[in-house]
Structure 1
Amino acid sequence: MCGFTGFIGETNNAFDVLTEMMETIVHRGPDSSGEFVEDGAALGFRRLSIIDLEAGSQPIYNEDQSIVLIFNGEIYNFMELRDDLVAKGHNFLTHTDSEVLIHGYEEYGKDLVAKLRGMFAFVIWDRSEKKLFAARDMFGIKPFYYSQMNGTLLFGSEIKSFIPHPHFQKEFNEKALKPYLTFQYPVLNETFFKGVYKLPAAHYMIYEKGNLQINRYWTPQFKPSDQPLVKLVDEIDDVVRESVIAHKISDVKVGSFLSSGVDSSYVASVLKPDKTFTVGFGNQNFSEIDNAKELSNELGIQNISEILDPDACFSKLAEIQYMMDEPHSNPSIVPLYFLAELASKHVTVVLSGEGADELFGGYADYDTAPALKKYKKIPLLIRKQLGVVAKRLPEVKGKSFLIKGGLPVEDWFIGQAKIFSEEEAVSIVKPYLRNSLKVEEIVKPIYDQVKQEDDLTKMQYLDLHLWLVDDILLKADKMSMAHSIELRVPFLDREVMATASKIPTKYRVNHIDTKYAFRLAAGRSLPQKSANRKKIGFPVPIRHWIRTDKYYQEIKEYFTGTAASTFFDQEKILQLLEDHYQGKTNNGRKIWTIFMFLIWYKVYFESNSIPFVETKSKQTKQLVTTR
């Protein structure tokens, strides 16, 4: 639902500047817009109408208009909160969830955020106190960026909205590149734009008299229960069903993304929407369409699918990187872009299965294979020595096995993506780019919070803080909003998390399967093969594309360009490309990671305009303005 942007600080022509900022995010809210501009404060809002279609415009005010709100997201317990606030004497003028935030802030202050069940990023401006309060949801489902430049605080749903502001200085953050090459996504809190930061998930922000305070209001915790397995499975199924029902509240059409995996299948089986949506590639190994159609037929619902064309995919790479704001090389972003486009022709809201792996233990890395269990019977000292030696080896068969078997999880697990090793990343970037945070410095503060936990919980905890927020959820938000649809994730819910935290390690991952208890719960709604199907994860044939002369030549043009010579050792990255093209090795993901960065850099730092961006506004904007 929607997007916002704004600033606090004296600016000439503030209304015109805000209007231009809002135009950069029109895709997030094509239905209407609203502005508040007064005494150095400017709040802009673009609306995608979901609930209370007639009366849900923003900014929204309290009774005496002393407090102003702009809000992106959905609050699923808003009726419960509304009843409590009405009982306390608050008067509501609309039936939107947005108004609950205004009155909730009046009643509870900063404690409001801990009461919310939903996905959100919002800003509240206190006109009398000249004070800003902002917050982001507990999982980081909705993005929130901010920057302090030249006496002005900028904030918004997307970084691109800052660029029109005269106080914004667009500058490349040199420290972001090296970590990105390892993680494949923008992992630092400071973005690829110097001086622009992410408000972390589960944090709120207060800005008053030029002072900025940021505080955490929630921390994920795992507290295993000794309940019998059947009781835990009952609870998982109950809470998932209740969450899906809560997440389908809408005054517009709701559909569901559907892959062949258990997560989206479980959501679709409970939701039973009129339509599910799936995309894939022509190669059978890179398509989930057949499995999705089979399940949809069994559920008695329509599956709408599309086979993707590589030429179409390459033609949209620049637009995809523009919409992402920062370089992002997860290949699944490409089919996700087209999946959202397909769904947007039929519905305004889609439910999806993100988050189940992180909460319930679904990734392959979480599994300790039988061979590794046997290896761990060797004395720890010997295994540790072998692990240290293995870390220094080039990428050879058996290296990962020796490292995982001999070293603590903190020494080798950095999340669900590891493209270049740190040593490789250092070797291919120019010397001036090497002085940035090391991988260990990025993951250690997170691991330090769970020192006493078991290895599985440590891995889940790290993924919840890095991979989930800055890869999975970021691309889900940006690619759905690029096509003006709202994506909801019922597994990433306060109540679902409370249940997931109870599941003992043995029922998360065991010798039978990953996500064991969760799969048993899903099996109550799904055919057995759907509930037990292994994760595929939006497969994309990039390694084959790069060995096709047409695409190889396109990538080579970037690798031999000025930007590549500025940031990389061109001889080394061209060798990576040549070796892959000639079939000597599979460097597909490494090449793609460099390629996506170079496309992003061209869009944001080498181009004077963004020709592929179309205005998506459906009507003349509705002004809600104080000037």
Structure 2
Amino acid sequence: HIGADRPRVAFLARDLIRAAIAALAKEHNPDLITFTTGFEREGYSEVDVAAESAAAIGVKHVVRTVNAEEMMEALPLIVWYLDDPVADPALVPLWFIAREARKHVKVVLSGEGSDELFGGYTIYREPISLRAFEKVPGAMRRALGKISQRIPEGTKGKDLLRRGSLTLEERYYGNARIFRDDQLRRVLRTFDDNVGHADVTAEPYRLSEGWDPVARMQHVDLFTWLRGDILVKADKMTMANSLELRVPFLDAEVFRVASTIPLEQKITKETTKYALRRALAEIVPAHVLNRRKLGFPVPIRHWLRDEMYDWARTIITESGTDELLDKQAVLGLLDEHRAGPHDRSRQLWALLVFMLWHGIFVEERIKPEVPEPHYPVKI
């Protein structure tokens, strides 16, 4: 992955994986540069910890801070480059970090795939917390599910009871669950009860029948979340900036090793990526070894209540998606989010990205300022 062109940049956040890549890459290239994005919002910046990691590893570090105004201005162009309405807020900091990195190099290293292979998502610990439900007969579990429906929203334990009443195939459909069915019915003009997540996850679950629950969850994520979101946004945001992204954790040899790790070495009650953390203990700075993964956190929850509220309202009211979406319901969701205490930011973000995409590619009403292509030879 280093290759003859010796990539000189690694994306460095405050988590274990990017620090490991930076530390290992520096052994091959002492001139390595690391990059981090931060936001002008307290609690959503990885800058300080990433800078500490870079100093401990001994590499140059560059920071790109993003504000709400820049995010709103860039989003139509970002959606244009995506081609599809990928509604992952993390693609925004990835866009800005790629633009900054391209000023220095043509190739970068990043940590995509490590969570899916080594058990890095907190949700993978869920089967441990739900083990007690496995001893409950099926009919009684279904009764518990009905009881959970009567418990008021926001009550502690409601979601645990609901999820414990479901089979793995019913409750887990990837790492990006945003809408419940009742919430979809609220905003969609047409809702088909015969179409659901099971249509997407049925094949991964069929192929992983008989595996332990965590391995099956990983398998689902490999063929849905990783392939349909993580790698899509990483590839398109970097290539849009003429930057090549390499992902060493998805190397075939790494995959082979990861597939041999037993369940108890992936997930424990206390931590994720247990075996990988032990393997990297002598490589990464101590302050990131057991730090909780944040990835690229984006403060949309706060900004949609404040700086981005009017912007979001304009996108909704001007959108030509009336045949598909109940725009009054979407506006209601926005106002509900602003009033609090419920967080509807991920749902709103998915709807806003879809409306922008629809405005660009279907209505042809929104026209991002796309840079003119530059060709190395005359065509």
TM-score range, shorter chain: over 0.9
Partners in 2 of 1:468 and 1:369 — Cα distance?
21
Give the one of 342, 350, 366 matched to 1:593: 350
Partners in 1 of 2:150 and 2:320 — Cα distance?
31
Say whether residues 1:513 and 2:250 are aligned partners: no
Q: Determine helix, strand or coil for the equivalent of 1:357.
A: helix
TM-score (norm 2): 0.92
Aligned-pair distance for 1:532? 1.2
- Superposed, 1:163-312 pairs within 5 Å as 247-251=1-5, 253-272=7-26, 273=29, 274-312=32-70
Say whether residues 1:361 and 2:119 are aligned partners: yes
Aligned-pair distance for 1:399? 2.7
Say whether residues 1:571 and 2:328 are aligned partners: yes
Say whether residues 1:487 and 2:245 are aligned partners: yes
Name the counterpart of 1:414.
Answer: 173
Aligned-pair distance for 1:329? 1.2
Q: Determine helix, strand or coil for the equivalent of 1:534.
A: coil
CA contact (8 A) 2:356 2:366 kept: no
Name the counterpart of 1:522.
Answer: 280
* Larger proportion of helix: 2
Name the counterpart of 1:324.
Answer: 82
Name the counterpart of 1:429.
Answer: 188
Name the counterpart of 2:337.
Answer: 580
Task: Return closer, same or farther for 1:268/1:545 CA change in 2, 3 Å cut-off.
Answer: same
Partners in 1 of 2:130 and 2:193 — Cα distance?
36
Cα displacement string for residues 39-60 of structure 1 (whole angstroms, at most 9, x for unaligned residues): xxxxxxxxxxxxxxxxxxxxxx
Name the counterpart of 1:444.
Answer: 202
CA contact (8 A) 1:426 1:434 kept: no
CA contact (8 A) 1:558 1:564 kept: no
Aligned-partner residue type, residue 335 of structure 2: E
Aligned-pair distance for 1:341? 0.5
CA contact (8 A) 1:358 1:460 kept: yes
Task: Return closer, same or farther for 1:391/1:361 CA change in 2, 3 Å cut-off.
Answer: farther
CA contact (8 A) 2:316 2:327 kept: yes
Partners in 1 of 2:245 and 2:134 — Cα distance?
43
Task: Return closer, same or farther for 1:342/1:271 CA change in 2, 3 Å cut-off.
Answer: same
TM-score (norm 1): 0.57
Whose RCO is larger (CA < 8 A, sep 6+)? 2
Cα displacement string for residues 121-173 of structure 1 (whole angstroms, at most 9, x for unaligned residues): xxxxxxxxxxxxxxxxxxxxxxxxxxxxxxxxxxxxxxxxxxxxxxxxxxxxx
Partners in 2 of 1:590 and 1:394 — Cα distance?
20
Cα displacement string for residues 579-601 of structure 1 (whole angstroms, at most 9, x for unaligned residues): 11223422111111111100111
Task: Return closer, same or farther for 1:509/1:276 CA change in 2, 3 Å cut-off.
Answer: same
Cα displacement string for residues 196-223 of structure 1 (whole angstroms, at most 9, x for unaligned residues): xxxxxxxxxxxxxxxxxxxxxxxxxxxx
Partners in 2 of 1:595 and 1:436 — Cα distance?
26
Partners in 1 of 2:205 and 2:148 — Cα distance?
22
- Single out whichever of 443-452 and 606-615 deviates more from structure 2: 606-615
Partners in 1 of 2:353 and 2:150 — Cα distance?
28
- Superposed, 1:53-132 pairs within 5 Å as none
Task: Return closer, same or farther for 1:584/1:527 CA change in 2, 3 Å cut-off.
Answer: closer
Aligned-pair distance for 1:369? 7.7
Cα displacement string for residues 234-254 of structure 1 (whole angstroms, at most 9, x for unaligned residues): xxxxxxxxxxxxx01033643
* Larger proportion of strand: 1
Partners in 2 of 1:584 and 1:598 — Cα distance?
25
Aligned-pair distance for 1:379? 5.8
- Single out whichever of 453-462 and 265-274 deviates more from structure 2: 265-274
Aligned-pair distance for 1:451? 1.6
CA contact (8 A) 2:40 2:66 kept: yes
CA contact (8 A) 1:326 1:600 kept: yes
Say whether residues 1:602 and 2:340 are aligned partners: no
Name the counterpart of 1:346.
Answer: 104
Partners in 1 of 2:18 and 2:79 — Cα distance?
25
Partners in 2 of 1:354 and 1:308 — Cα distance?
22
Which has the larger Rg? 1
Aligned-pair distance for 1:445? 2.2
Aligned-pair distance for 1:372? 4.2
Aligned-pair distance for 1:434? 3.7
Aligned-partner residue type, residue 362 of structure 2: F
Aligned-partner residue type, residue 577 of structure 1: L
- Single out whichever of 330-339 and 422-431 deviates more from structure 2: 422-431
Partners in 1 of 2:87 and 2:159 — Cα distance?
23
Task: Return closer, same or farther for 1:394/1:427 CA change in 2, 3 Å cut-off.
Answer: farther
CA contact (8 A) 1:388 1:407 kept: no
Say whether residues 1:553 and 2:310 are aligned partners: yes
Give the one of 210, 234, 239 matched to 1:476: 234
Aligned-partner residue type, residue 356 of structure 2: I
CA contact (8 A) 1:348 1:484 kept: yes
Aligned-partner residue type, residue 489 of structure 1: V
Task: Return closer, same or farther for 1:371/1:363 CA change in 2, 3 Å cut-off.
Answer: closer
Aligned-pair distance for 1:557? 1.6
Cα displacement string for residues 365-403 of structure 1 (whole angstroms, at most 9, x for unaligned residues): 101387545566666653343135436877443232113
Q: How many residues align?
A: 374
Aligned-pair distance for 1:489? 0.4
Cα displacement string for residues 408-433 of structure 1 (whole angstroms, at most 9, x for unaligned residues): 211101111111112321331112x6
Give the one of 140, 147, 160 matched to 1:401: 160
Cα displacement string for residues 20-42 of structure 1 (whole angstroms, at most 9, x for unaligned residues): xxxxxxxxxxxxxxxxxxxxxxx
Task: Return closer, same or farther for 1:468/1:283 CA change in 2, 3 Å cut-off.
Answer: same
Aligned-pair distance for 1:526? 1.2
Task: Tell me how large the CA RMSD over aligned residues is.
Answer: 2.2
Aligned-partner residue type, residue 110 of structure 2: S
Name the counterpart of 1:499.
Answer: 257
CA contact (8 A) 2:37 2:64 kept: yes
CA contact (8 A) 1:261 1:535 kept: yes
Task: Return closer, same or farther for 1:611/1:421 CA change in 2, 3 Å cut-off.
Answer: closer
- Single out whichever of 317-326 and 377-386 deviates more from structure 2: 377-386
Partners in 2 of 1:456 and 1:323 — Cα distance?
34
CA contact (8 A) 2:36 2:47 kept: yes
Partners in 2 of 1:250 and 1:600 — Cα distance?
39
Unaligned runs of 5+ in 2: none
Aligned-pair distance for 1:487? 0.5
